[in-house]
């Protein structure tokens, strides 16, 4: 069974490792542009940790995945080419990544964030076929297109909890 806990500064090397693996997996899946070679940048990861929004997923006390979950208005979600399902309070999953050593990480993360009692929003690149498959599998509704902080388009999804 996986365990989720808040990320600490001491976990930073493991997060670097996981994001490096995730970037390589995206490239091999035909999605070289979503995180390029430098995303998520370390400043953003440190900000997530300081604000208490970063989490790690452990299996037998080994970090196998990470994600950020941020409750409140996401600036990149204010404007959408499309429409959200509602205007209720929500949390956004960002920067979810795995080292590929275990199955079911996304389900574990979803089960965890549902416990916050808010709707869930997430976005992904049009070429991220793995994430698109998972979002469809777990009942997320495609709401439209948003523009990220680096000016690129992402497909935005919402799940009502």
Strand order from edge to edge, sheet including 90-98: 3-6, 54-59, 62-71, 90-98, 119-124, 153-159, 141-147, 81-82
Can you give the residue range of the structural domain that contains 137? Answer: 3-159
pTM of the predicted protein model:
0.93
- Spatial distance between the Cα atoms of 2 and 109, rounded to a whole number of angstroms: 10
Taking 90 as the threshold, does the pLDDT of residue 38 lie above it? no
**CATH code of the domain covering residue 24:** 3.40.630.30
pLDDT for residue 37 is more than 70: no
Element (H, E) at 66: strand 62-71
Number of domains in the chain: 1
pLDDT tens-digit series, residues 110-158: 999 999 999 999 999 999 999 999 999 999 999 999 999 888 899 999 9
């Amino acid at each position: 069974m996986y365990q989720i806990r808040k990320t600490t500064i001491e976990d930073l090397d493991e997060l670097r490792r996981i994001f490096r693996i995730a970037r390589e997996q995206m490239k091999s899946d035909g999605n070289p542009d979503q995180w390029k070679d430098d995303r998520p940048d370390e400043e953003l990861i440190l900000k997530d940790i300081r604000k208490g929004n970063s989490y790690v997923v452990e299996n037998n006390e080994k970090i196998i995945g990470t994600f950020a979950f941020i409750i409140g208005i996401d600036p990149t979600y204010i404007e959408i080419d499309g429409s959200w399902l509602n205007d209720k309070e929500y949390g956004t999953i960002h920067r979810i990544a795995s080292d590929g050593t275990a199955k079911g990480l996304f389900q574990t993360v979803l089960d965890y964030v549902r416990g916050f009692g808010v709707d869930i929003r997430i976005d992904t690149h049009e070429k991220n076929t793995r994430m698109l498959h998972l979002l469809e599998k777990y009942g997320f509704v495609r709401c439209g297109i948003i523009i990220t902080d680096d000016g690129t388009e992402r497909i935005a999804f919402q799940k009502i909890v």
